[in-house]
Amino acid sequence: MDTQVLIVGGGPVGLTLAIDLGRRGVRCILIEKNDAPLGYPKMERCNPRTMEIFRRLGLADTVRAAGYPPDWPMDTYLLFDLMHPPLFKMAHPTVASAKAKRDATLDGSMPLEPYQIISQYTLEPLLKSVAEKIPNVAVKFSHEFESFVEGSDGVTLHARTTAGDRVSFRAQYLVGCDGGSSAVRKQLGFRMEGEPHILEMRQALFHCPELYAKVIAPRARHYHRIDEHWTLMIVQDSREHFTLHAVVEKDEDMVRLFEKIVGTPIQYRMLHCAKWVQRLLLAEHYAQGRAFIAGDAAHLVIPTGGLGMNTGIGDAIDISWKLAATLQHWGGPKLLRSYEAERRPIGAINVQASGRGTTGRSKWRSAYRPCIADDTPEGKAALANLLAIAADEAPKSFRVVGAELGYRYAGSPIICDEPGGPEPNIDAYEPTTWPGARLPHFWLEAGTLSVHDRIGDGYTLLRLGRTKADASDLKHAFDTVGAPLSLLDIDSEVVRRVYGFDYLLVRPDLHVTWRGNALPKDSEQLARVVTGW
């Protein structure tokens, strides 16, 4: 074997997988067909769960330092142009105020890390430079995946370099993180199910350093222009770069629309312009034999709600510890099989959530009338109608906290589920320790040390009750399997009340796998189920 895991694709999902596998001591090779990371804009919002994951990788502060400053407004406006007062505001907390709210909220409902704006073209080189520093990770750009062959003990991957050389690598496992047109997925023969072509848009990137010195609109994250083109301006992380999305015929139309939304003569340069298509698709499978797919290779959403890369980072972190456990011989055969069972239903929910957010946007967009900016009774009525619809519908695209924090691996073969669990709720997050759910965050030391920070790379038994039962049977059972188990005692009535049980067993990815008010009678059975035997 040349390595243990081959990763195809050096986008944010493949790079995050490489970093997590690397820090777990797994040897991996990542191949990427491009010669350098993405040079044009795509995603810009890491959601709170992704930031929690980056914190576990030791990267949250680095990502924040490269992105929006903590006090930059996150609000979203509807307007005609930036030289007139906005007509509708959707208020969102800044990172600084989200952190303050988190610290003042003691019911487990707040994420440990708030969201963060960072442009994908900033994030990818950052993740690449981190992955390249890990000794057991080899990052090979300019290598295009062509095909693979699976044998009884591993896979052989064939690739071609930019220089035209053909190379092969052998490994035990392969993960295709190669984006929406994934060649790995195609070779596996997995169909994409859903809506392949909803709307074709153009995206252009503008550099305009003097924008905020000239316009009167408040600083914000998004500006939706009220027009027939669905024009949306997104402020990128430098706050000197702006992307414009619109439904137009030609690249030149994007220039015209940029000038219209700015509303005053200004110096600028268009750096990039390309078409992109809104799709809502989910792969029929995520795994076969020794090959897996993750990220956009497995699901494609409309960016509304920011559930694209963020869902993919969730995939990466689920497959990562399971691959590590299997390669370290303590993970049983059901562990890797549980990847599809756990992540595909989450992909389906997130595709649905993103579709719902977009439907809300199309409702208020459809109320546009050509007379809408006119100072006439007809124009005023059209504007009032559009704004009334927007008041109901526009916030829906941001109401995804339940999808971000509340996702649960119901019915997973490696979760000791309980009957009657809560149904998925995209809109709202209720802290819960129902098996399969993410462990709610609580500070153990105010502002610095979270319960999350004390969950290591193996399993953790939390003892929360007044009496702490002897856990040596359970420890012995995990030792027999070879799986790492640590104990964490927490003496806080508040934490015990919200967590709801005296004992919680938490997996390396922070998901609760079992809970009870007494330690299990059959420790061996529990240890075997949760480790996939």
Query: Which positions touch ligand FAD (CB under 6 A)?
Result: 8-14, 31-34, 42-45, 120, 144-145, 177-179, 183, 203, 276, 295-296, 303, 306, 308-310, 312
DSSP class of residue 437 equals B
Q: Could you tell me the two tokens for 3?
A: 């390595």
Which of 183/341 has CB closer to ligand FAD? Answer: 183
Which of 45/515 has CB closer to ligand FAD? Answer: 45
Which of 177/335 has CB closer to ligand FAD? Answer: 177
User: Whole-number minimum distance, CB 218 to ligand FAD, in Å?
Assistant: 21
Which of 16/531 has CB closer to ligand FAD? Answer: 16
d(CA 224, CA 89): 10
User: Whole-number minimum distance, CB 35 to ligand FAD, in Å?
Assistant: 10
Which of 30/495 has CB closer to ligand FAD? Answer: 30
CA distances 461 to 69, 455, 468, 525, Å, are: 37, 9, 11, 15
Write the secondary structure of 323-339 as one string of H (helix), E (strand) and C (coil).
Answer: HHHHHCCCCCHHHHHHH
For residue 208, how many other CB atoms are within 10 A of its CB? Answer: 18
d(CA 247, CA 418): 47
Q: Which residue has the tokens 């969950």?
A: 455
User: Whole-number minimum distance, CB 447 to ligand FAD, in Å?
Assistant: 27
Instruction: Please classify residue 445 by burial: count the beta carbons closer than 10 Å to its beta carbon, then call 0-12 exposed, 13-18 middle and 19+ buried.
Output: exposed
Half-sphere exposure of 357 (CA within 13 A, CB side): 24
User: Whole-number minimum distance, CB 523 to ligand FAD, in Å?
Assistant: 39
User: Whole-number minimum distance, CB 159 to ligand FAD, in Å?
Assistant: 7
Which of 115/443 has CB closer to ligand FAD? Answer: 115
User: Whole-number minimum distance, CB 10 to ligand FAD, in Å?
Assistant: 5
Helix (H, G, I), strand (E, B) or coil at 159: strand
Phi/psi-derived region of residue 317, left when phi > 0, alpha when psi is between -120 and 50, beta in every other case? alpha
CB 505 within 8 A of CB 526: yes
Which of 283/341 has CB closer to ligand FAD? Answer: 283
User: Whole-number minimum distance, CB 300 to ligand FAD, in Å?
Assistant: 8
Which of 315/502 has CB closer to ligand FAD? Answer: 315
Q: Which of 82, 122, 125 is nearest to 241 (CA)?
A: 122
CB 90 within 8 A of CB 81: no
Q: Is the dihedral of CA 423, 429, 433, 437 positive or negative?
A: positive
| Alpha-helix runs per DSSP H in 367-507 | 377-393, 401-405, 472-481, 493-499
Q: Which of 121, 119, 102 is nearest to 110 (CA)?
A: 102
User: Whole-number minimum distance, CB 170 to ligand FAD, in Å?
Assistant: 17
Which of 268/276 has CB closer to ligand FAD? Answer: 276
User: Whole-number minimum distance, CB 429 to ligand FAD, in Å?
Assistant: 17
User: Whole-number minimum distance, CB 470 to ligand FAD, in Å?
Assistant: 44
Q: Which of 488, 427, 185 is nearest to 315 (CA)?
A: 185
User: Whole-number minimum distance, CB 81 to ligand FAD, in Å?
Assistant: 22
Which of 125/500 has CB closer to ligand FAD? Answer: 125
Which of 140/260 has CB closer to ligand FAD? Answer: 140
Q: Which residue has the tokens 């993960």?
A: 175
